[in-house]
Structure 1
């Protein structure tokens, strides 16, 4: 299997032809355990902050770079809602942000994850693209809505979105504080119903819930006016041979989800 075949090319109906997308896995790189591929080979860890040797990360980023028109604009992700415009980022600069957008061909937006939800956006005319990092804190704080607002301010029309690999609904155990964080953001009974539908009780664990982060993201995207939402079929925790997972392994690597205008 080639390196490219070990990555994900999102199934995204309606994506404009001038938009490039790619989602890496843990396979196809050079990093040793615990950043390996889960099957005894080198792992494609792209995170510089997880304890892997810098030369391994640099080589892994070069492997991914061979598939891209330019070096991605890497972010310092802090579970916030800031959105960086990659056209305004200087070479070697690493903005503190949890989303980025581009209206310029050849500039690559990238999000790194290891259970948090990566969401890619494109307007249907192929003029604007974006990527957002949506862990539950950022999701509850409005990172998807801020990304949509930034894209519209940049001239985007009707939007479509794709949700990449994240912790699945049967693996994401949370407390009542997480549900309340999302309930704090709704103002009507319909919103309350949508939020509560994403949380299910766990037998024998009072006060604990299983959280469907994909379901929450779909609701928030639809509320923000994004009706065309795809993806959401992968679970990082359950598939140890394909994805890095912080919840599962603790010390682990990071995969990336990328989008750009051609």
Structure 2
């Protein structure tokens, strides 16, 4: 069956070179943008897949169908969770029934099952051990990265037979240090945990405020866990044409925002 990944129609996700190199081993992935969706209006225009948004249910489900179709799969094969900024990971398999438990990462060894995480500034991280045939997807904002969701995802993959020395991970579009201003309490929390975390902050223009480098923290946590990881270095905040952004919405006092999806699948043989 020809997938949308092999045609020029439909959504056109961003690819990670690190993960794209695994396509010969049957690993398909994509960091989807707003392109290729049916949602309308300034808040949701494009490929909004956020079931937690107030967008039209019909549009959201059509957008999710289009994401699944890009992988050559039915919508029922797209697994996501109800994200709550936790360190919790769900293992899914062929019995997946569409449930969305509260968690922030998924892992599987089941071919044909798409793992997806939704973001709007937080970091989407996709993982793969092609030799073991195990994949993962994690949603990591500051709470998730600080709280251990990345390490928990690696451990859950290892429980399925992966080896962390073979795992490739890539951080997709997320908010960068250039647009992530935080206050003194936030800064103090991180340095109380580890004084070396000062490396992730620079002084902001406003006294008592700092610019926080969430992507650098994410990659460090991954590499410290023994995983080969990189950052696509694409900031969601300024690029309104391609990405939804919670912080941009907050700064504009808008009532709601859409979510983009990042997803990964093991191709069925």
TM-score, with length taken from structure 2: 0.86
2:238 corresponding residue in structure 1: 238
Offset of residue 3 of structure 1: 4.5
Retained in 2: the 8 A contact 1:140–1:181? no
Identify the match of residue 256 of structure 1 among 235, 239, 261: 261
TM-score, with length taken from structure 1: 0.88
Is 1:96 equivalent to 2:102 in the alignment? yes
Identify the match of residue 134 of structure 1 among 128, 133, 140: 140
Retained in 2: the 8 A contact 1:75–1:111? yes
1:189 corresponding residue in structure 2: none
Retained in 1: the 8 A contact 2:16–2:232? no
Identify the match of residue 113 of structure 1 among 107, 116, 119: 119
Identify the match of residue 22 of structure 2 among 6, 15, 35: 15
2:180 corresponding residue in structure 1: 172
- Mean alpha-carbon deviation: is it higher for 2-11 or for 45-54? 2-11
Retained in 1: the 8 A contact 2:110–2:266? yes
Task: Give the gaps of 5 or more residues in structure 2.
Answer: 1-6, 251-255
CA, structure 1 residues 94+5, in 2 after alignment: closer, same or farther (shift >3 Å)?
closer
- Relative to its length, the structure with more helix (as a share) is 2
- The DSSP-based 3-state class of the residue aligned with 2:59 is helix
Offset of residue 5 of structure 1: 6.2
* Residue correspondences, number: 249
Q: State how far apart, in whole Å, the 1-side matches of 2:29 and 2:179 are.
A: 27
CA, structure 1 residues 23+61, in 2 after alignment: closer, same or farther (shift >3 Å)?
same
Identify the match of residue 41 of structure 2 among 33, 43, 48: 33
Retained in 1: the 8 A contact 2:68–2:114? no
Retained in 2: the 8 A contact 1:3–1:27? no
- The DSSP-based 3-state class of the residue aligned with 2:136 is strand
1:199 corresponding residue in structure 2: 201
CA, structure 1 residues 2+124, in 2 after alignment: closer, same or farther (shift >3 Å)?
closer
CA, structure 1 residues 78+84, in 2 after alignment: closer, same or farther (shift >3 Å)?
same
Retained in 2: the 8 A contact 1:12–1:231? no
2:168 corresponding residue in structure 1: 160
Identify the match of residue 55 of structure 2 among 27, 30, 52: 52
Q: State how far apart, in whole Å, the 1-side matches of 2:108 and 2:220 are.
A: 25
Runs of 4+ residues deviating >2 angstroms: 1-7, 13-17, 34-37, 68-71, 176-186
- The DSSP-based 3-state class of the residue aligned with 1:106 is coil
Deviations 1:61-84 (A, max 9, x none): 111121123421121000001100
CA, structure 1 residues 145+179, in 2 after alignment: closer, same or farther (shift >3 Å)?
farther
Task: Give the gaps of 5 or more residues in structure 1.
Answer: 38-42, 187-191
